[in-house]
Structure 1
Amino acid sequence: MTKWLKNGWLLSLLAVALVVGACSPKETAPDDKDPNEVAENYPSGDMSPLDKRAKVIIAEDGAASGAGFYIAKERGYFEDYNIEVEFAQFANSDDMLPALAAGEVDIAGGVSTASFFNAIAQGIDVKIIADKGHNVPGKSYFTFVIGNHMVDVIKDYPDFKGKKIAISSYNSIDEYIFEQMLAHAGLTKDDVELVLLGDFGSMLGAIDSGTIDAALSIEPLIAQGVDKGFHVRFGDATDYAPESQIALVLGSPQFMNEEQDISLRFMAAYLKGVRDYNDAFIKDIGKDEVVEIMTKHTALKDPALWEKVNVTGLDPDGKMYIDDIKKQYDAYKANGAIRGDVDLSKAIDTSMTEKAVKEIGEYKR
């Protein structure tokens, strides 16, 4: 997930070849029956599978926040609906967003950045449809760490005054969380020395050497840094940003509007995967198998480390902190980083996720 957040969009850890022209066309069930009829004898236990097989392209390549996709694939939830999924990689978000808007990619993951909103303002039509990452109270996976040399100096947030603090990017979720922390501490940007380090990995050496005093870091680098004695966790991001939307599931307008039989089943399967993830890491149900799936699909290959990291929060019903998405947009706008305007009521479309929850039922928390 490191490189993905660093460039404001997509993690580039695993290579998956994408040949758009080879993708099978989307097929829907005939009109002479209710394609969403619920019957216990369906493989899924709810909606009927598609009469003709469909392929769904997902721009996802190893981010831990893609857990719902990986688990649904490995446990056959997509297959139950006669859906084949293919993971695709793009060099950068500039290539991915137009492909998503054109329907060459059906689903993608991302974070809110000024460049993302600028793309929408300039006519790139993508839909924000579901949660793909938020901090869990007291166990934030995207939060601050401080160097060992600061343990006796930084005791509370106001103690960040005068300190060197690193973030990985400007006008992004990184700077937004940083600004939320400063406001909570009663500080401004003028009260600290902000350092831009574009690679989360480079923060480890910088904080260990004392070049920086603190950093906004991410798992698993946080846990790895603690293990190696580079830094210690400081507080928790939910202290000052309790309902912050870190990552988003994005959908192409064609997939969400014109291929609803497929997108509805896709979202149902995805949410089943997310629910298994919550069962594993919150209820400790089937955890070993889920960890095995995560080590297969992500860069975090050590099962033991999964016991130490603060995992990504994923809402089992796909709900997002929509008010926070709007706050992030307003923050970028106030910084002068967004050119043009975005109608968030059109860009955010949770209707398909809500329909999927109605079909499979709400999660028992």
Structure 2
Amino acid sequence: MNKFTLTRRQALLSAGAAAAVVGFGVPARAEMKVNLGVIRLASHAPSFIAFERGYYKDEGLDVELKYFEAAQPMAVAIASGDADYGVTAMSGGLISLAEKEVIKVIGGALTEEKGLVGAIILASNKAYEAGLTSPKELAGKSFGITTTGSSFHFMAHKIAQANNIPLSEISLRPLQKVGAVVGALSSGQIDAWAIQPSIAKKLIADGAAKQIGLVSDYAPDYQVTTVFTSTNNAANEREKTEAFIRAYSKAVADYNAAFVDKTASAEDVDALAKIVHKYVEADLPFEQAKTNLVEGSMRINNNLAMSLGSVTEQLDWFKSEGMVKDTITPEMLFDTSYVEIL
């Protein structure tokens, strides 16, 4: 009898301990630590939405945001292990790192889509008054880019190609940071630039530049930004990488519904705009920043699907310009096993 009583007491104590564990919410497994590279641009809105709405945590990820000013430094950080995932444009530096087997592109993000405004081609007021009223007149003019091999460089190529202008006849001005290009265009130090609408429309509204065209007229279906990670994460950390893609994709759905397709409720648009405002154009009054976001958002591919044709075209262009080695193959750069291929 005593033996039975003791066993029963032990069972009750064990049950109580188990209930206490559940009550205190101890996780079944530790969260996976992830460093995410971001740039304070509207195109990175899903990074911030997923962070603030707990989508990363829901997938067992403990995410820290790491801030960058341009695509190339982010690629270097991914390769060195200082960041785990990045969402930005393909750069020459990123592609070269793929040849060293340290980086893989695993998805697509921002995309040009016919019928949406997309990136806007701008002229400085000074250049516009001097006759630069169309991309057809870019020969002999200066065009702002962040770095050689950046998305701005590729857009200049597509615009020049469509207008039968040798790119060598356009003076490309590498200014390292988006803010520096904004300043140079506003002050007339450069003649032209192409940038996503959230920034372009603000420059136009402020009277600092004039619209002379749309990138989508020259590069429809252009995969502007991609999702990338280290080769090690892509090959050996599949659970973590798939969890990241699921969390980010959920935020992309929120972003597209609110700012691109305009199918979200007014309350949700407001809530999402407040999240983004914490990170993007935080120096502006909320209503102005919200207007910029609502009027200037570009589509981000659902579930981070990747336009393989567009990114392969970009790879071929980098090779043709001698910015990366001819020996780099699509298989070195792209891991197509994670997302839908368009």
Between structures 1 and 2, the one with greater helix share:
2
Deviations 1:90-130 (A, max 9, x none): 79877754653465632123321222212222x14211111
Larger Rg: 2
- Contact conserved, 1:169 with 1:197, CA < 8 A, in 2? yes
Shift in CA distance, 343/316, structure 1 to aligned 2, threshold 3 Å:
same
The aligned residue for residue 102 of structure 2 is 125
Shift in CA distance, 339/253, structure 1 to aligned 2, threshold 3 Å:
closer
**Distance of 2:218 and 2:224 partners within structure 1:** 14
The aligned residue for residue 244 of structure 2 is 266
Which residue identity lines up with residue 291 of structure 2 in the other structure? E
Q: Name stretches of at least 5 consecutive residues in structure 2 with no aligned partner.
A: 1-26
**Distance of 2:55 and 2:188 partners within structure 1:** 48
Deviations 1:207-242 (A, max 9, x none): 455444322344543222112211122221000011
Measured on the aligned residues, the alpha-carbon RMSD in Å equals 3.0
- Contact conserved, 2:90 with 2:151, CA < 8 A, in 1? yes
The aligned residue for residue 262 of structure 2 is 283
The aligned residue for residue 164 of structure 2 is 186
Deviations 1:285-322 (A, max 9, x none): 12111111111233455332332352243111211222
For 1:342, what is the secondary structure of its paired residue?
Answer: coil
Which residue identity lines up with residue 66 of structure 1 in the other structure? H
**Distance of 1:144 and 1:298 partners within structure 2:** 21
Deviation, 1:138, is: 4.8
Q: Name stretches of at least 5 consecutive residues in structure 1 with no aligned partner.
A: 1-48, 358-365
Task: Decide which moves more: 331-340 or 164-173.
Answer: 164-173
The aligned residue for residue 293 of structure 1 is 275
For 2:33, what is the secondary structure of its paired residue?
Answer: strand
The aligned residue for residue 14 of structure 2 is none
Q: Say whether residues 1:251 and 2:209 are aligned partners.
A: no
Alignment of 1:138-287 (within 5 A): 138-149=115-126, 150=128, 153-281=131-259, 282-285=261-264, 286-287=268-269
Shift in CA distance, 163/92, structure 1 to aligned 2, threshold 3 Å:
closer
Corresponding residue to 2:313 among 327, 330, 337: 327
Which residue identity lines up with residue 327 of structure 1 in the other structure? E
TM-score (norm 1): 0.73
**Distance of 2:79 and 2:174 partners within structure 1:** 31
- Identity between Structure 1 and Structure 2 (%): 24
